[in-house]
Amino acid sequence: MEVYQAIRSRRTVRDYKPDPIPQELIKKILQCARWSPSSSNTQKWSFIAIQNLDTLSELGNICKQGPFVGQAPFAVAVVMDDAPRPQLDAGRAIQSMELMAWSEGVGMCFVGVREQDQIVAVKALLNIPEKMDLITVLAFGYRADIPKPPGTPRVPFNEIVHWDRFGEMTQP
Amino acid sequence: MEVYQAIRSRRTVRDYKPDPIPQELIKKILQCARWSPSSSNTQKWSFIAIQNLDTLSELGNICKQGPFVGQAPFAVAVVMDDAPRPQLDAGRAIQSMELMAWSEGVGMCFVGVREQDQIVAVKALLNIPEKMDLITVLAFGYRADIPKPPGTPRVPFNEIVHWDRFGEMTQP
């Protein structure tokens, strides 16, 4: 799938078929994370590729705001260690993974693990060193047999794009 | 260009031809930012599309670590306002923009504007409200007539990808 088409057509997917994702695609998704750029090329990231169904199910129990990860056939926990811009670097790698997956028909939903007790529980489950930063868990899977939704509404182009200076909403 | 090929072949580009980027592509790049997912769909972002050559030149003077922006025909300043995860959301939008541009032959380099005096100067130049967060300035352009570099080295796959649990480097 073309880049533009992938970005334009992408939808967040939270309902998955149980079908496993081919190993070759899983490796491509992880390679796409690896090839993403990072601040000063620090690459202070680790990606935990989770296919164990018990682990996935337990993640679904822990992550109350993202129980769908318990139904996903695959998830990636994104972990940063002492990076200059951990959230920003992680965001770029996450976007590469999502677009790679989407271009081959696999959807993703981001589980924002932000409550302290959940972070502690996920780190214990996945054996993540205490000093490292758990950014998120990404659930991946083929969309269940439900129609593709219309997409969440976006703020109009002319309200978020400014020309040359903040506040100039008309293209020169 | 296919998503996988774009992610695999992407290189950071810091040397630009002066050739302008077609307006249609500029709008596609900005639309790709707009269509990126954000935490809880908050979309707390603004994108300042800069084509004014005096402004670009002045950005190059201010950003000592990224003077190449002064030679770029186009730049985007990414600004976040009171978002739950500003750096992470920005990272996703930045990656969408870079891949969109790359898929049509345009390179990008990230200028990390992190020193306080530079942030103040860029915000003044671009009229960015004080309360908002300037994440970065992205310089875009067609690569100057120099060969494509081999790409910055990456940590080996087996050192950043863990299987099911952190520390398990062998795929089950």
Provide ipTM, 2 decimals. Answer: 0.96
Residue B150 in contact with partner chain A when CB distance is under 8 A: no
Q: Which token pair is B85?
A: 């995860």
Mean pLDDT across the stretch B122-132? 98
**Where are the alpha helices (H) located in B13-85, listed in sequence order?**
23-34, 53-62
Closest partner CB to A91 (pick from B6, B30, B88): B88
pLDDT single digits (tens) A5-34: 999 999 999 999 999 999 999 999 999 999
B48 contacts A163? CB cut-off 8 A: yes
Closest partner CB to A4 (pick from B28, B79, B152): B28
Q: Measure the CA–CA gap between B158 and A14, rounded to whole angstroms.
A: 29
CB B86, CB B134: distance < 8 Å: no
* Percent of chain A residues topping a pLDDT of 90: 93
Query: What pTM does this model have?
Result: 0.96
CB A133, CB A14: distance < 8 Å: no
Measure the CA angle with vertex A147, ends B44 and A18; round to 5°.
95
Q: Measure the CA–CA gap between B100 and B27, rounded to whole angstroms.
A: 11
Mean pLDDT across the stretch A57-64? 96
**pLDDT for the residue B148:** 82
The B residues from 80 to 139 touching A (CB cutoff 8 Å) are 85-92, 94-96, 98-100, 102-103, 110, 112, 126-129, 135-136
A51 contacts B154? CB cut-off 8 A: no
**Average confidence score pLDDT of chain B:** 96
**pLDDT for the residue A148:** 82
Confidence of residue A57 (pLDDT cuts 50, 70, 90): very high
**pLDDT for the residue A101:** 98
Residue B12 in contact with partner chain A when CB distance is under 8 A: yes
Residue B72 in contact with partner chain A when CB distance is under 8 A: no
Give the contacts of B45 (CB within 8 A, at least 6 positions apart). Answer: A160, B33, B38, B78, B79, B80, B81, B83, B89, B90, B93
Please give the residue of chain A at the shortest CA–CA distance from B171: A49
Confidence of residue A147 (pLDDT cuts 50, 70, 90): confident
- The amino acid occupying position B62 is I
**Average confidence score pLDDT of chain A:** 96
Q: Is the pLDDT of residue B80 over 90?
A: yes
Length of chain B: 172
Q: Is the pLDDT of residue B78 over 90?
A: yes
Q: Is the pLDDT of residue A150 over 90?
A: no
Residues in B closer than 8 angstroms to A129, CB to CB, are 166
Closest partner CB to B96 (pick from A88, A95, A136): A95
**pLDDT for the residue A112:** 87
pLDDT single digits (tens) A100-140: 999 999 999 999 898 999 999 999 999 999 999 999 999 99
Q: Which residue has the higher pLDDT, B150 or B39?
A: B39
Confidence of residue B105 (pLDDT cuts 50, 70, 90): very high
Confidence of residue B20 (pLDDT cuts 50, 70, 90): very high
Element (H, E) at B76: strand B74-80
Residues in A closer than 8 angstroms to B94, CB to CB, are 88, 91-92
Instruction: Catalogue all structural domains in chain B, each as residue range(s) with its CATH number.
Output: 3-160 (3.40.109.10)
* Percent of chain B residues topping a pLDDT of 70: 100
Confidence of residue B2 (pLDDT cuts 50, 70, 90): very high
How many Cβ atoms are within 10 Å of A115's Cβ, its own excluded? Answer: 13
Confidence of residue B151 (pLDDT cuts 50, 70, 90): confident
Confidence of residue B135 (pLDDT cuts 50, 70, 90): very high
Phi/psi of residue A132, each to 5°? -90, 160
Mean pLDDT across the stretch B51-57? 98
> Where does residue B163 fall: left (phi above 0), alpha (psi -120 to 50 degrees), or beta otherwise?
beta
Mean pLDDT across the stretch B71-93? 97
Q: Is the pLDDT of residue A156 over 90?
A: yes
Q: Is the pLDDT of residue A85 over 90?
A: yes
**pLDDT for the residue A161:** 98
**pLDDT for the residue B147:** 84
Closest partner CB to B45 (pick from A79, A160, A168): A160
Mean pLDDT across the stretch B51-69? 96
**pLDDT for the residue A165:** 98
Confidence of residue A60 (pLDDT cuts 50, 70, 90): very high
Q: Is the pLDDT of residue B172 over 90?
A: no
